[in-house]
Structure 1
């Protein structure tokens, strides 16, 4: 229970004194001003009554405008502040959503760029493998060309040997013809001189027959060598044909490898162009992000200006409140004087 004697007049007088001292009248400060007398439950409703009773009058006295107009202006100001806050929040959400979309697009472009880099490296490896295969094919073709040249040289040697053997066979054939002619001549001579040179003719005939047999054996040997040489020439011709076919197959493989190399080079060019396109898109996204950040900075600047205007408005409201408190204090003094005058009149 509060002490007896704590009335509305005491609370109003203490509140006016606190306002004069530049302090905010509260329940604790009123109780301290009253000498720590009175309970808070008693002081609180009296202080609330004092604030409610003099609020409208102070507002009208400070501004020189009707209270309803001041309240309407305050309502419009609060509505404008709420609308500005709502728009600022919507803009902030829109900027955040746009930033999130740009970041997702940037991540997608980075992932696509990484995939293209991996594909580019794979194409580079395939290109290097194709280059190695082409080099191996070139080396094999060079070796085959050397082999074919050696075979051509060997074939020329065999043809030269065959020509020599043919010439030797022709010479032996001519010798055989000459031997036959001589034999016929000798037979005619023997026929003419059979009587006196029978013994000599028989020995000569025997010798000629022996020479003829040897010549025939030489001719058979030369014919056998000629057949063997012709067989070797045919074998060399077959080998030459096989090597030519192998050379043709190697050249076709080389042409295919070159076509593969050209295709890989074209794919590499396409990948390079796509990589440049992605880099341009990344640059565009970066520029858009920079523009968004500039817009966000402008919005922050506008928000700071609004805060500054709000602070100025709050300062004006504080000044109006101070004037209201001064008027309340004057009113309390006047009320006290009026009460004392009435008391004096009644006495």
Structure 2
């Protein structure tokens, strides 16, 4: 419990109490004994005065009475015993620390031995790694030589590929011109076919109109008109057959165009593969020649179709002349009764 203040007597009493417990009478210990009361400077000042007074009393033993001397002797004996106890305790504590340090030194020595072993192992591993590194360096040099040789082969292959590419581009240019010529020819054939078809349709319309006129005007010539109708039907059938032939030829021409487009796609694919397989250039050239032959064959078929169409047109002209003669005869027979 904290007190209101301290004085010299309280400090002396606390000093004796601390000494009686065998503790060191320090300022902090005395302040704790006083109940944490008083400043350290004041306690220090009182302790200093008590030490001076004790020194004065010890210096002048003649002034001390016998009981005080006996008390001092007992205190001295007690202090000596306590000092021996403190020394023994310190010695025991020191020996305990010494044993702990010895054990720790032994453990550190063992650990140092293990570290030395690990160091030796690491040195061996380092030597092995250096050997492996040397071997890998030699392997890298060999790989560099192989890479240089491969680079040279690649340069020669690249030059060969460029030469083959130029050849392919030349072939593509030829085929492009062939496709353009084929396209132009196909457009001209289609235009001529459309014109012929329009002309044929117009002629058929005229024939149908004239036939309707003949049917209305000449009832007595029913038999001739029936035969004429049959001829007309046959003519229409032949015209339809001609149209079918034309459609078949158009279909064939379309398939030929498709084959040409497929051939172009295949040529592009082969051109891309040529960069990896330069040896297949000759086979591609052969395939291109075959496609050229197919193109020429398709052109020949188109020419054959043109000839066949001309024949059909000639036959149709003959039929038209026959119809015109029949119509002239019908008109002449129709005009004779009137005359």
Higher RCO (CA-CA < 8 Å; seq separation 6+): 1
Q: TM-score, normalised by structure 2?
A: 0.31
